[in-house]
Amino acid sequence: TDRKKLHTAPVGQVFRLRPFHVLVATGGGYAGYRKYEDYKLEQLEKRGIEVPVKLASEWEVALYKSVPTRLLSRAWGRLNQVELPTWLRKPVYSLYIWTFGVNMKEAAVEDLHHYRNLSEFFRRKLKPQARPVCGVHSVISPSDGKILNFGQVKNCEVEQVKGVTYSLESFLGPRVSSEELHFSQAPLGNSFQQQLVTKEGNELYHCVIYLAPGDYHCFHSPTDWTVSHRRHFPGSLMSVNPGVARWIKELFCHNERVVLTGDWKHGFFSLTAVGATNVGSIRIYFDQDLHTNSPSYSKGSYNDFSFISNNNKEGIPMRKGEHLGEFNLGSTIVLIFEAPKDFKFNLKAGQKIRFGEALGSL
């Protein structure tokens, strides 16, 4: 009679799964898996072992593309905007920080309780002094990330990683007219690559920067240039991490992307923001008409918008280091630009880079 009463409940009620529990378990499992895969890749690279290229077959690519990554990304985007209870913010964000190696000492606001949801945490701003912009070199990194590839464009093919290429024309789409890009020079050749080069003696260069989930998610202007045109390709939202980039040829051509084209002092210049799995949101600060990962889209289509108008004959001028846009979660930036033959990259494939550091110069 002196024993305390033990209150019980049906087993089904005790172990009933809730959406939040499923989200935490799935997200935690995926984070652990990605951490392990990245660790294996890093160990191979440290040992100087080149990871062999093993391209996916057509049916494997088709199977991957059949996964509703756009729908899942929109769902994940909405979950990211759900406000977390104050008591839950620190443990959730701390897990993310540990998993992806986030340096919160660089954040403008270090207090984790400040970020109401995951979306705000992903898009956190940095302290002004955290990323000094190199004033010596002509082209800087527009974002934090990892250099996947760089060099001259050859035979209208661009390497997304070493040994895996994609078509320059498929990636950028049909050439925009010289009048719309505000060029005075006429194209010098017949191939798509030659049509982009506006000055004799110049070459076309490219640089691919992968933003990991733990990186700073805003991107900036890599040089002084003028943006004349925007082309938006709705598409798949497959992962763009280096492992998948080695596996799927023309991965960047399959995925949703926003291509900004214009000119700088040496001719043609373009910056492309490539979307990826989860959220799939790309924002360009000066382009309020851009809406990415929309439920309604036509496969293989694209839409154009010109910043040249009767009221604006020049386009959108951008200064080196100026805020340009942002991703929700990690993705990829691809630079394709024209420069004289003596342009040199100050890079190594696979190296980590931060926004503001030099990419190359004359």
Rounded distance, CA 206 to CA 332, Å?
A: 13
The encoded tokens of residue 133 equal 């912009």
E strands, 106-255, are 139-140, 145-152, 157-161, 164-167, 202-210, 218-220, 225-233
* Residue whose C-alpha is closest to residue 60's, from 233, 234, 251: 251
* 21 a catalytic residue: no
Query: Catalytic one among 73, 119, 206, 220?
Result: 220
Residue 267: left if φ>0, alpha if ψ -120 to 50, beta else—which one? left
The C-alpha atoms of residue 76 and residue 280 are separated, in whole angstroms, by: 9
Rounded to whole angstroms, how far apart are CA atoms 47 and 305?
47
Q: In the annotation, is 144 catalytic? A: yes
Chain centroid, CA 249 distance in Å: 17
Query: Do 230 and 305 contact (CB within 8 A), yes or no?
Result: yes
Answer yes or no: are the C-beta atoms of 226 and 314 closer than 8 Å.
yes
Residue listed under structure tokens 């620190």: 90
The amino acid at 143: S
118-127 in b/e burial notation, b at 16+ Cβ within 10 A? bbebbbbebe
Give me the catalytic one of 144, 215, 263, 287. 144
Give yes or no: 331 in active site. Answer: yes
What span, in angstroms and rounded, lies between the C-alpha atoms of 337 and 263? 9
Backbone dihedral angles phi then psi of residue 148, each to the nearest 5 degrees: -85, -40
d(CA 151, CA 348): 10
Tokens encoding 165: 């290429």
State the catalytic residues.
144, 220, 331
